[in-house]
Structure 1
Amino acid sequence: MALIRPADWRPQGVADLEPRAWEALHETTLNVCVTAGAGAGKTEFLAQKATYLLQTGICPRPRRILAISFKRDAARNLAERVAARCPPEQARRFSSMTFDAFTKHLLDQFRDAIPEAYRPPSDYEITFVTDDQVRAFLRRAGAPNVAADALTKAIARVPLPLEDADIKPRTREILQGFWHEMYERYHACLLTFPMINRLVELMLRTNPKILQALRSTYAFVFLDEFQDTTYPQFDLVKTAFGAGSTALTAVGDDKQKIMGWAGAMKNAFAEFNALTHARSIDLLCNWRSHADLVEIQHQIARRIDPEVELPEAKQDRLVDGDIAAIWEFKNRDEEITALAGWIAREIGSGRVAPHNIAVLARKRVDRVESELEPALAAVGVTLRNLARNVGAIALQDLLAEDLTTLLIAFLRLGVSRRNAAAWTCAHDEMGRVLAVMEDDPAGQRQLADQLSTIARHVRKTLQTLSLDAGEVRGLVLSLIEAIGENALRSATPAYYRDADFARVVDGFVVLLEESIDASHSWSEALDRFEGLNQVALMTIHKSKGLEFHTMIFFGLDSRSWGSLQPDADEELNAFFVAFTRAAQRAFFTCCEARGGRIDWLEELLGDRVPRVSLQSA
């Protein structure tokens, strides 16, 4: 395919970019640190920069671009945007994955290169260690006075091998005991993601050939949501790409740092700039929210950073009446009933679609679901808890899986012969799985024939099956067999291990079974599976990177936000993140029975966010 001269290249799929985004896009020789506030369009910026690098040949074949995100749906969203803007042979040189997926892929691919003393077996299992488990270990290790979080931080921050680490002898002894227990005490070798980061960093540091191969593969690396980068992740970035052979672009916003509890660095951007001597560029536009909402967001942003510039709102206001308010209630029954009624009326009036409404909870999402779901069901509205697990995988993660995308596309083709979107999706995904190039006519004909064969197989199978959840596993396994399990797993590094692939398959089966049980047709079941016409319920952390027409935050009170104080930076950041998910409206419920008012916050918001009864809103 002919390349485009850099001077002639124009943005793909959008009218234009803001001037500062053009600066950051054109900077290809220096590392770049891009501050992108709420609604600044950082995903679109990264997609445009990837497209620019690929279409102009600045990232030449066969070198690739690596984009690392923190959430699966964010990684997939970015990959889809690049695929929509570039021919397949160029888009295939763009790898978008989460940090955990990236490090796990390197561990699985080069496990044998890890020094023997720390080399895990191939059948290791991933675990998430709780404070109670850490405290139990410390008691066994004869160190009950050591704080659990201190050990957790040390596991993440102390590089391997422990024998060479510059730490106190007693600290070394405790850490060695922890690693030994994780490898030997349980039914299988257990690894946390911070441990995997440390193992991969050790592997790269002690194997120059693998390190050089990695640097030769990726000419450019994008680091999304960089404010939430942890110390072991940053150490891995330094080892892998810190020598200058790869151009780095870090994107994020300190005002949206909400992962300090999970080990996020205190000064991520300052350390990145010190390491890479990056050029710093601030994006100023807000493409998500209209001007009235942006002004309120700016009040919060100024409390976090007094020097922050007022963004230029690029979205139109499409609604009348209040665009932000605190809805007050005397008791829980009144809160639930009134909220469910308001949502039903808004949907019924056509002002907003169900999937464009999100209910965010600070904590106890399951409890909110148990209260709100029956009330919404009574008025004909379905609530979808995206924070829950299906099988052993989070629902929100399952929906972003490559396997899910492909299976749903084929099931849609089985339900309807004329579904252009499903055919295009299946074609693109199968082309990726089978590595069929766009300029390969014979390969394209073979791909089209295989798609038609699989679609007919699915259509025939669905016609013979009753709408029975008991039939789902057999259906899914036969579809995977028709696609080709080996090809599927080879094309997606995250499916390399049997346990990881099985977890996604099992989650898919569980969710489809649930959807069938609540449906009267296969088409309705697939709609339920994908969350169409359902109101989303999630935590703040799960909402990061998403946007909704109307956001309703459940519980603005001193109990839900017990740690939100004027000097609690990360809690205020979390509040800011919650508020900025909204494109048109943002509301908060406040119930006297659940907790008291947060007076200083309401004073900060001022008259722009009035306290009203829902009946008068």
Structure 2
Amino acid sequence: MTEILDRPPTSVRHSARDIAVALELPPPTPEQAAVIEAGPGPLLVVAGAGSGKTETMAARVVWLVANDLVTPDQVLGLTFTRKAAAELSARIGKRLRGLERAGLWTPPADDGTGAEVLGGTPTVSTYHSYAGRLVREHALRVGIEPEFRVLTEAGAWQLAAESVSRWDGPMDGMTRSEGNIIDAVMSLAGEMAEHVRTPAEVMAHLDEVLARLEGLPDGDGRGSLTPAKDVLGVLRERRLVLPVVEAFLELKRSRESLDFADQIALAARLASTMPQVGQIERDRFTAVLLDEFQDTSEAQLTLLRSLFHDPAVALTAVGDPNQSIYGWRGASATTLLRFPSEFAGPQGPADVLPLSTSWRNDELILAAANVTAAPLATAHVQPLTARPGAGPGTVTIDRLESAEAEAAHVAAWVAARWRSPSGRRTGRSAAVLCRRRSSFPLVIEALRAADLPVEVVGLGGLLVTPEVSDLVAALWVVQDPTRGDQLMRLLSGPVVRLGAADLAGLWAWARELHDRPAGPGRHGADLHEGELATRARARGDPAAS
């Protein structure tokens, strides 16, 4: 069994409040103090939006280090994005330097060689990066070369396309295009990896479901079984795709390649079947922070439970089921709700503590948020409460007749707060949330018309510009010639500018060329150019003369 340190928990010298005072930080709330000062063992922290979870996680590390319960290099922090990992790492590092200046902790002495000092650096990374490191260190245990190639999404798509083009098995009843089949192969392979399932297991389950649906008796009334028949059609096509998925996985193995989902699944397999892997990790890390736990998948839950389900490990998972955003790739907020039972010990389920004070919003905004989130209420989730001294806040609802009027109203609202009556900048900022990306251009245009600077977060703003949309359409057509929607954008847009009559003529001419065999001395390309020129002259186009 892993020990945190020889010092027993009763040797705690510094409280969370004492450390905050020494670092000249605001004192923690009672909820935060309970999380910071929790002992070893698994702990779930249900942290609402704006409740200071990152600060509390950093404070927990500082408290453990200040009381000699762990050394910094025994700390592992995992989150989903490199940005979040960098923020958590920077905050922990800043607090540890403050701890040293306050005289509450002395880091290991530098030996003068310039080498990294052992015991001085926490490890903070993304879940996928950590899984990749585990696989590289232990891949040989399951017969995989540690120098495998990590596939990008484009590289994985190429292998999936190769698997589909090579497939010569039965596909009777398949109505999807080749491009859609490739997407289905990618999607199914990723979902199976995130749920730690094999193609054989999914095939067996699908066969059972199909047999039950096909055995349904006729319902009362015409069309009563239409929904079941629609489901049957979808599941039959999915069943046809599964052998192609199996071929795709085998092709990746033969090329010694893994994508990100494969790394998580393989790491989970290693951790759950090789006890020595978990022991090595528990010897290395005795304090573990799991950020955004509501977005973990079944594979990640299996991995973390196999590695760190130990009463001697100070395992702290932080999350909010109301903020789960990665359901499209196998994540489920139920992993957070299952944490107490999945990490239960001899004394019962793992402890659960709340962080329910929001430091971000005023009272009325929180009241509206609590009412909106009420239908989503689950176990362990408490309504958000306002911080001490929070303002009353305002919530305004406006209904307008058109999208253009709505965008103009939003721009006027922001402008009235962006500038003072004298026209000087107030220093305030604003965020505009749109339900659909198609609303972006209207809002952007209205904000710019009000002489307001605009930054579109992510690629959404770039993708809606006409030039980039045309480029994306061209790339789609090159990759998948069956994408008629993208081809129509190119042909009818500013690049080619064909009208309805021209498009109809082009379609008829393309069909004629497709059906007409090329005879001796008759070259399709020359014929195409010559007859097109003849037709252009007939329309009076001077460029064809």
Give the structure-1-normalised TM-score: 0.53
Asked if the contact 1:215/1:240 (under 8 Å) is kept, the reply is yes
Q: CA deviation at 1:159?
A: 5.5
Asked if the contact 1:126/1:191 (under 8 Å) is kept, the reply is no
Asked if the contact 1:67/1:222 (under 8 Å) is kept, the reply is yes
Cα 1:380/1:351, change in 2 over 3 Å: closer
Cα 1:127/1:252, change in 2 over 3 Å: same
Q: Provide the secondary structure at the position in 2 that maps to 1:97.
A: strand
| Amino-acid identity (%) | 22
Asked if the contact 1:290/1:315 (under 8 Å) is kept, the reply is no
1:288 to 348, 353, 360: 360
* Counterpart for residue 18 of structure 1: 29
Aligned: 1:99 with 2:127: yes
* Counterpart for residue 140 of structure 2: 113
Asked if the contact 1:127/1:191 (under 8 Å) is kept, the reply is no
Q: Any gaps of 5 or more consecutive residues in structure 2?
A: 1-10, 101-106, 109-118, 175-180, 208-238, 345-349, 463-545
Cα 1:43/1:266, change in 2 over 3 Å: closer
Aligned: 1:376 with 2:443: no
2:67 to 56, 60, 66: 56
* Counterpart for residue 508 of structure 2: none
How many correspondences in the alignment? Answer: 376
2:300 to 233, 245, 256: 233
1:313-462 to 2 correspondence within 5 Å? Answer: 313-314=386-387, 316-317=389-390, 323-349=394-420, 353=427, 356-364=429-437, 367-388=438-459
Asked if the contact 1:227/1:254 (under 8 Å) is kept, the reply is yes
Aligned: 1:126 with 2:152: yes
Distance, in Å, in 2 between the alignment partners of 1:202 and 1:215 is: 17
Q: Which amino acid aligns with 1:158?
A: V
1:151-550 to 2 correspondence within 5 Å? Answer: 152-158=190-196, 168=204, 176-183=246-253, 191-205=258-272, 209-265=276-332, 267-277=334-344, 278-305=350-377, 309-314=382-387, 316-317=389-390, 323-349=394-420, 353=427, 356-364=429-437, 367-388=438-459
Q: Which amino acid aligns with 2:384?
A: P
Higher strand share: 1
Q: CA deviation at 1:312?
A: 2.7
Q: Deviations over 1:470-499 (max 9, x none)?
A: xxxxxxxxxxxxxxxxxxxxxxxxxxxxxx
Asked if the contact 1:220/1:246 (under 8 Å) is kept, the reply is yes
1:56-75 to 2 correspondence within 5 Å? Answer: 56-60=67-71, 63-75=73-85
Q: CA deviation at 1:387?
A: 1.3
Q: Which amino acid aligns with 1:179?
A: L
* Counterpart for residue 528 of structure 1: none
Cα 1:270/1:135, change in 2 over 3 Å: farther
Q: Which amino acid aligns with 2:306?
A: T
Asked if the contact 2:89/2:122 (under 8 Å) is kept, the reply is yes
Asked if the contact 1:37/1:283 (under 8 Å) is kept, the reply is yes
* Counterpart for residue 470 of structure 1: none
Q: CA deviation at 1:86?
A: 1.0
Larger radius of gyration: 2
Q: Provide the secondary structure at the position in 2 that maps to 1:67.
A: strand
Distance, in Å, in 2 between the alignment partners of 1:42 and 1:98 is: 17
Distance, in Å, in 1 between the alignment partners of 2:442 and 2:258 is: 36
**Aligned alpha-carbon RMSD (Å):** 4.0
Cα 1:267/1:310, change in 2 over 3 Å: closer
Q: CA deviation at 1:84?
A: 2.0
Farther-moved stretch of structure 1 (147-156 vs 15-24): 147-156
Q: Which amino acid aligns with 2:153?
A: T
Distance, in Å, in 2 between the alignment partners of 1:125 and 1:337 is: 45
Q: Which amino acid aligns with 1:329?
A: L
Q: CA deviation at 1:14?
A: 3.2
Distance, in Å, in 2 between the alignment partners of 1:181 and 1:96 is: 33
Distance, in Å, in 2 between the alignment partners of 1:389 and 1:101 is: 26
Q: Provide the secondary structure at the position in 2 that maps to 1:264.
A: coil
Asked if the contact 1:33/1:249 (under 8 Å) is kept, the reply is yes
Cα 1:205/1:292, change in 2 over 3 Å: closer
Q: Provide the secondary structure at the position in 1 that maps to 2:338.
A: helix
Q: Provide the secondary structure at the position in 1 that maps to 2:41.
A: coil
Distance, in Å, in 1 between the alignment partners of 2:360 and 2:436 is: 25
Q: Any gaps of 5 or more consecutive residues in structure 1?
A: 392-617
Q: Provide the secondary structure at the position in 2 that maps to 1:24.
A: helix
